[in-house]
Amino acid sequence: MDHIEVTVNGQVRPLVGISPHTTALEWLRDTGLTGSKEGCAEGECGACAMLLATSDDRGGTTWTAVNACLVPVAALDGQEIVTAEGLGSPDHLHPVQAGLAEAGGSQCGYCTPGFACSMAAEFYRPGRVARVSAESGDSDVSADSGEPELGPNGFDLHALSGNLCRCTGYRPIRDAAYALGDPEPGDPLAERRAQPAPESRATRLDAGGGRFVRPASLDEAVRLLREEPDAVVAAGTTDWGVEVNLRGRRAPLTLAIEHLPELRAITFGDAAIEIGAALPLSEIERRLDGRVPLLAELFPQFASPLIRNRATIGGNLGTASPIGDTSPALLALEARVVLVSPDGEREIDLADYFTGYRETTRRPDELIRAVRIPLPLARLTAFHKIAKRRFDDISSVAVAFALDLDGDGLVSSARIGLGGAAATPLRARATEARLVGHPWNLETVRDAASVLGTEGSPMSDHRASADYRALMLNRALLRLYRANPLVAEEVPA
């Protein structure tokens, strides 16, 4: 085992006695940092949240909140983290800790350290207070919109949407968040932002019957994958953590690729936008800055900030889940998947990528390098997600629309991506055909909606019945039309 270490609360600690499947949460608690709690072991509760120093692409550091239960501790080699214990002490509370105490934001206290870490990440967000308008009151935007719900101090309450509390109630927690001011001069974590974040480095760990390898290059990664096709490829590890924690999976090799520059770029060309497969969704959202409106609508509905700060498009497509939220949107955008192997690259239409339940055309020796979204983009787009909770939940059904109308009000092109409607994500081809060439009016929409409700083969499970899923598909197109009619027509709810 090579020497590996992590900086925790300002102190360098060697990672000894760990296996490739040890999570950061397990290791933290074993070393006595028990502020991080295990509530769900799958990234839904946020009780284990910690701060990770990540690059802001301007030579400085951003404090990013992530779930410790989902991150292999070996992936923190050379990295820097801060836990609830590193924020403050009983004698010198951090402002977020003091705020939670003063507002009565804690009862049993189990979730509080996680809330404190997520709140601290937003507390240190650059420009937080400066971006608030003078007219902002208790909230700039309704929570129903999915847009930032800013307090009078610029605090985006959605930063806490991945943290759950079972006993306190959220009002005092919100009050604590909205009462925060700016970091005081001399605040060490604020000052740390001006310094570069640690760079990822090649890492090898061979212990406990398995190996963890962070290769030094993309060439090395694809070579290892060809030599060991049973390796588990991990980037954001939001799926890796669930497999390890809840399903007891112990892969012989975990191949970590999240640091490879070829997988972390976004390029804007005349014909396409290319998005690296290992770039976290929150980083994609920041870099795109609204340039792809359909994705801008999707991102706030994808899990929670704690998940989006790690999850990747490559991981979402790699698992090939029929309810992965990025797939319907990318299908509607006619995205193409760029696959790389030792033999070179090949590109495939995403609509041809899925072949069966969690099966794809990707060979065992291939990595997803990027997705390419062709330009120009459709002018009328929308993403509709039906789930039991507004945020931080898995879709029962997801529908993405990308339509264009000509000067006469006829539908000139239509692309509709569906999730939760079959064993794979799919294009609603029959509905698209029913729309193209017809006027964008209520009669056309009702006709096409009746077809959309029959697309795929929805199943009944604990999230929704097949009939409910079909009904939601039917209503999705009417909902789109209600928001984008050409003429004033009464559309039934």
- Per-residue pLDDT tens for 178-208? 999 999 999 999 999 999 999 999 999 999 8
pLDDT (average), residues 259-269? 97
50 plus 188 within the same structural domain? yes
d(CA 177, CA 128): 12
What pLDDT, on the 0 to 100 scale, is given for residue 137? 43
In this prediction, residue 127 carries a pLDDT of 83
**Residue that terminates a domain, selected from 334, 354, 377:** 377
pLDDT score recorded for residue 144: 47
Report the candidate in 375, 347, 132 with the shortest Cα–Cα distance to residue 269. 375
- Provide the percentage of residues in the chain whose pLDDT is more than 70: 94
| 160 in the same domain as 26 | yes
In a domain, 209, yes or no: no
The number of distinct structural domains making up the chain is 3
Q: From CA 265, how far away is CA 129, in angstroms rounded?
A: 30
Shared domain for 264 and 392, answered yes or no, is: no
pLDDT at 132 over 90: no
- Domain harbouring 469, CATH code: 3.30.390.50
* pLDDT tens readout for residues 146-170: 566 889 999 999 999 999 998 888 9
Statement to judge: residues 238 and 186 lie in one domain: no
Residue 207 maps to a domain: no
52-66, 183-197, 395-409, 458-472: range with lowest mean pLDDT: 458-472
Q: Are 430 and 459 in contact (CB under 8 A)?
A: no
**The domain that contains 178 carries what CATH number?**
3.10.20.30
| Residue finishing a domain among 377, 397, 418 | 377
Domain limits for position 461: 379-493
Segment among 147-161, 351-365, 428-442 with least mean pLDDT: 147-161
Residues 332 and 464 in one domain: no
Residues in the chain, total = 493
Q: Is 279 among the domain residues?
A: yes
Tell me: pLDDT of 141 over 50. Answer: no
For the cut 60, the answer to whether the pLDDT of residue 133 exceeds it is no
Name the strand (E) or helix (H) holding 335.
none
Does an H or E element contain 234, and which? strand 232-234
220 found inside a domain: yes
Angle 112-174-290 (CA atoms, 0-180°, nearest 5)? 105
pLDDT at 487: 52
Give φ, ψ of 4 to 5 degrees: -130, 150
Cβ-contact 28, 50 below 8 angstroms: yes
Strands 210-214 and 253-256: parallel
Domain presence at residue 399: yes
Instruction: Check whether residue 123 and residue 102 sit in a common domain.
Output: yes
Alpha carbon distance 127, 112 (integer Å): 25
**Whether residue 478 sits in one domain with residue 466:** yes
Cα separation of 334 and 356, whole Å?
19
In a domain, 32, yes or no: yes
Do 337 and 398 belong together in one domain?
A: no
* CA 341/CA 345 separation, integer angstroms: 6
In a shared domain, residues 431 and 369:
no
Residues 277 and 151 placed together within one structural domain of the fold: no
* pLDDT of 209: 82
338 & 258 share domain: yes
Beta bridge partners of 426: 418
Q: What is the pLDDT of residue 2?
A: 62
Q: What is the DSSP string of 155-178?
A: -BGGGGTT---SSS-SHHHHHHHH
Average model confidence (pLDDT) across the chain: 92
**Residue 292, CA atoms < 13 Å, CB-side half-sphere:** 31
Residue appearing with tokens 């709810």: 493
Identify whether 276 is part of a domain: yes
Q: What is the CATH number of the domain that holds 265?
A: 3.30.465.10
Whole-number Å distance between alpha carbons of 46 and 25: 12
Domain boundary among 136, 161, 192: 192
**Whether 254 and 313 share a structural domain:** yes
- pLDDT at position 146 is 56
279 has pLDDT over 90 = yes
Taking phi over 0 as left and psi of -120 to 50 as alpha, with beta for the rest, 196 belongs to: beta
475 within domain boundaries: yes
Averaged pLDDT, 232-249: 96
Both structure tokens of 343: 């033999």
C-beta contacts of 14-17 below 8 A and 24+ residues apart:
15/73, 15/74, 15/76, 15/77
